[in-house]
A and B are shown apart, each in its own frame.
Chain A
């Protein structure tokens, strides 16, 4: 009986020690990799913003309670003199195989300047994945909130609809922030 008790205590001790050592090791690795990951993520976001609004000199982050829930971030693009030349929204939505994320730049006239796909890695590469290519995203340039004339990708209805809904959310977000100037 005492043997068994000693056994049980040893088992628990070993398990706890292994858990603690593993957690400590992970904390150390995380300490070094987290800043790198965060910096990379920020750089990717910045690069995406420059891609949809190349004329902007700087970007100003916007916060608002009126933004739709799917908006990940909202920015106002300013030119060299500080005048707003467009609004950039990063929207996430539910695609076919997972979450999709897009970035939309809407100009002061309420029309889309440029759309860029950030992440459609969960969609089928040869179908929904085609939304990543400029052939698809270019058709959004110049469109207004009615999205007339935007074609879906045949065979990828769910991804295409999700993409469209994200763009519509971008318009809703635009309406929410444009009064603020």
Chain B
């Protein structure tokens, strides 16, 4: 796979949020405002690139039996660095992200890419994979944010938009709205890709690293 293909797959074909359905928690929670969504996306991308690179660099050193705790410690470390930097230099973003910033550490995208890609490929390739996936996540969460902020709050990035500002559909900025918009977006992706995007029968965290090797994909028989 060329470097360009590696980068682009994270954006569209294997978009972590809309196709692989990973990292749904922050997507639903932070997409009420585009500025916050963008901040979350960039923070997650930064952590993703750094952790992919670190794990790839250490892939031959970390023994298999402790790889999960090791990955967790490394990811937690990068997340904490982002937390500390944000608290010092971007406080309002830090406030709007709340606990979800720290929750990047259990974001399936990060742990999933570590397991699926970083521990099998070189440092540069892993970094590109991280960049692509992170930007794909950012793209998805910002699109959702745009829909929810314009229709639900009548603004975009805090700038009020004429007609929408007077007629907001408040429910879209709350929990039910989040589920609804997310569902519609995935339906849209399905429609556009004419069903080719429905790769996985079981969705969500089944793609996650903690699936025991070989069991994933065989969940039907395991039940």
Q: Is the CB of B89 within 8 A of A26?
A: no
| B157 close to A (CB within 8 Å) | no
Q: Is the CB of B98 within 8 A of A11?
A: no
Q: Bound state CA distance, A34 and B66, in angstroms?
A: 32
Q: Bound state CA distance, A36 and B88, in angstroms?
A: 6
Q: Bound state CA distance, A155 and B173, in angstroms?
A: 14
Chain B residue with the shortest CB-CB distance to A122:
B98
Which of A14, A26, A36, A155 has a CB less than 8 Å from the CB of B63? A14
Q: Is the CB of A26 within 8 A of B81?
A: yes
Given known A18-B70, A119-B95, contact A37–B63 (CB-CB < 8 A) = no
If over half of B's interface residues share one DSSP class (helix, strand or loop), that class is named, otherwise mixed; here it is: helix
Which of A22, A30, A121, A122 has a CB less than 8 Å from the CB of B84? A30
| A15 close to B (CB within 8 Å) | yes
Contacts of B95 in A (CB 8 A): 119, 121
Q: Is the CB of B87 within 8 A of A33?
A: yes
| A10 close to B (CB within 8 Å) | yes
Q: Bound state CA distance, A34 and B84, in angstroms?
A: 8
Which of A11, A22, A33, A44 has a CB less than 8 Å from the CB of B73? A22
Given known A19-B73, A22-B77, contact A125–B63 (CB-CB < 8 A) = no
Q: Bound state CA distance, A122 and B97, in angstroms?
A: 10
- A134, chain B: closest CB distance, angstroms: 16
- B79, chain A: closest CB distance, angstroms: 10
Q: Is the CB of B96 within 8 A of A121?
A: yes
- A48, chain B: closest CB distance, angstroms: 13
Contacts of B84 in A (CB 8 A): 26, 29-30, 33-34, 37
Q: Bound state CA distance, A98 and B29, in angstroms?
A: 14
| B168 close to A (CB within 8 Å) | yes
Tell me how many residue pairs across A and B have CB atoms closer than 8 Å.
73
Which of A14, A36, A119 has a CB less than 8 Å from the CB of B66? A14
- CB-contacts of B64-90 with A (<8 A): 65-66, 69-70, 73-74, 76-77, 80-81, 84-85, 87-89
Contacts of A18 in B (CB 8 A): 58, 62, 70, 73-74
Q: Bound state CA distance, A124 and B88, in angstroms?
A: 25
| B61 close to A (CB within 8 Å) | yes
Contacts of A151 in B (CB 8 A): none
Chain A residue with the shortest CB-CB distance to B65:
A11
| B32 close to A (CB within 8 Å) | yes
Given known A33-B85, A36-B88, contact A14–B62 (CB-CB < 8 A) = yes
Q: Is the CB of A11 within 8 A of B66?
A: yes
Chain B residue with the shortest CB-CB distance to A25:
B77
- A24, chain B: closest CB distance, angstroms: 10
Contacts of B87 in A (CB 8 A): 33, 37
Q: Is the CB of B89 within 8 A of A36?
A: yes
What 0/1 pattern do residues 1 to 45 of A give for CB contact below 8 A with B? 000000110111011001100100110011001101100100010
| B91 close to A (CB within 8 Å) | yes
What 0/1 pattern do residues 145 to 163 of B give for CB contact below 8 A with A? 0000000110000000000
Q: Bound state CA distance, A12 and B92, in angstroms?
A: 40
Q: Is the CB of B65 within 8 A of A7?
A: yes
Q: Is the CB of A40 within 8 A of B61?
A: no
- A167, chain B: closest CB distance, angstroms: 22
Q: Is the CB of A126 within 8 A of B168?
A: yes
- B149, chain A: closest CB distance, angstroms: 9
Q: Closest 8 A-B residue pairs measured CB to CB? A: A22-B77, A36-B88, A33-B88, A11-B66, A33-B84, A11-B63, A37-B88, A15-B66
Which residue numbers of A lie inside 8 Å of B, CB to CB?
Answer: 7-8, 10-12, 14-15, 18-19, 22, 25-26, 29-30, 33-34, 36-37, 40, 44, 98, 119, 121-122, 124-127, 155
